[in-house]
Amino acid sequence: MDSKTKNRPLTPPPDGGRPTLKTIAFMTGLGITTVSRALKDAPDIGAETKERVRLVAKQIGYQPNRAGVRLRTGKTNVISLVLTLEEEIMGITSPMVVGITEVLAGTPYHLVVTPYSATKDALAPIRYILDTGAADGVIISRTEPHDPRVALLTERGLPFVTHGRTEMGVVHPYHDFDNERFAYEAVRELVERGRKRLVLLEPPPHLTFYSHMRAGFERALRDFQADAVSFHHINIDHTLVEIRDAFETLMRSDDPPDGIVSGSGSGAIALIAGLEAAKKTLGKDADMVSKVPSDFLRWLRPEVVTMYEDIRVAGRELAKAVIGHIDGQPSETLQSLSQPEFQSAVPVSIKR
């Protein structure tokens, strides 16, 4: 009876602690292995046995020990969100985290935030995750056309999804905002308002969506016959003060722009400040269309036309895509593009 029933615990687990497979095995009189297999609905376990095991497991609130599973199988049940510590003024991170966790809530996955200092190597956190097997899947943003993180993750076969596309001939899951379309529609809007000399506050050139936004901008300039005013020395990664100062200078120049496309909501704030520092008035001397991640600009400066990028939805899409990738779904089916939404005016109260 010694060695024969070693796997069949006749001693009640000392208890006080949380239930394990052993607890269920003891309660049902089954072997630990049987319980394990019953809970994963293995084909070699009897229907009635499965039912009994499931019932007991539910009753005592059994939850598999993550460390046990992870040690044995390597499955971490962790999704890692890799972020740069340098955050944007308007905090794109919050809604993103919310969106991701909304999706993960219905799964066994936990969300771990893995930061890196932008001054250092963006590959460092990726390497860490690969080397330590810290996650089953990774979410990365600030994607570049030839992104070494994508190359490394692909090579090592770790599921991931990017917020933004790449141009490496690698098919991988992504979610992106249609920045081409955004810029195109923004120009259309400005031209419709009679603006002809347009300026773009663009993303930093090394990020993929830089070329998307520029492409949309330039295509629209051609289609709607407007002119570009150069502002390439400044981009949305510059500080607000830098943007404002540069834009003030531009607005004081001989032939200032009369239409502004802002690739970021916080950038828009600085542009407005620069414009006003140059003694110009928004809506009169120039109009502005901005991409925004929240609706406060619409509240404070309704004269700005805003196009909403729903980061929360992006978070949801990204989470679904990584999980899909982990589950082996083909990458082609895990790609999505979200369209800019023109924001309507601030809702007017009904009671008035």
The residue ranges that bind its own copies (CB under 8 A) are 18, 61, 63, 65-68, 70-71, 76, 83, 85, 87-95, 97-98, 101-102, 105, 110-115, 131-134, 240-241, 244-245, 248, 266, 269-270, 272-273, 294-297, 299-301, 346-347, 349, 351-352
Residues in the chain: 352
CA distances from residue 223 to 72, 199, 216 in whole angstroms, order as listed: 60, 16, 10
272 binds, among DNA, its own copies, none (CB under 5 to 8 A by kind): its own copies
Count of CA atoms in the C-beta half-sphere (13 A) of 291: 26
Residues 16-45 that bind DNA (CB under 7 A): 17-18, 20-22, 29-34, 36-37, 39-40, 44-45
* Sign of torsion over alpha carbons 104, 109, 112, 113: negative
Complex with its own copies: residue 42 or 98, whichever CB lies closer: 98
Q: How far is the CB of 203 from its own copies (least distance, A)?
A: 19
* Sign of torsion over alpha carbons 118, 121, 122, 127: negative
The residue from 59, 65, 239, 333 that contacts DNA (CB under 7 A) is 65
Q: How far is the CB of 105 from DNA (least distance, A)?
A: 21
Report d(CA 114, CA 82) in Å as an integer. 5
46 in contact with DNA (CB under 7 A): yes
Nearest residue to 178 (alpha-carbon basis) of 166, 162, 165, 160: 165
Stretch that binds DNA, among 61-69, 151-159, 250-258, 301-309 (CB under 7 A): 61-69
Q: Three-state DSSP class for 44?
A: coil
Residue pair 189/259 in contact by the 8 Å Cβ criterion: no
45 binds, among its own copies, DNA, none (CB under 5 to 8 A by kind): DNA
Q: How far is the CB of 321 from DNA (least distance, A)?
A: 25
DSSP secondary structure of 85-152? SS--TT-SHHHHHHHHHHHHTTSS-EEEEEEE-TTS-THHHHHHHHHHT--SEEEE-S--TT-HHHHH
Complex with its own copies: residue 134 or 337, whichever CB lies closer: 134
179 binds, among DNA, its own copies, none (CB under 5 to 8 A by kind): none
Residue pair 15/1 in contact by the 8 Å Cβ criterion: no
- Count, residues near DNA per rule CB under 7 A: 36
6 in contact with DNA (CB under 7 A): yes
Q: Three-state DSSP class for 305?
A: strand
* Residues of the shown chain interacting with DNA in the complex, contacts defined by CB under 7 A: 3-8, 13, 17-18, 20-22, 29-34, 36-37, 39-40, 44-49, 64-65, 67-69, 71-73
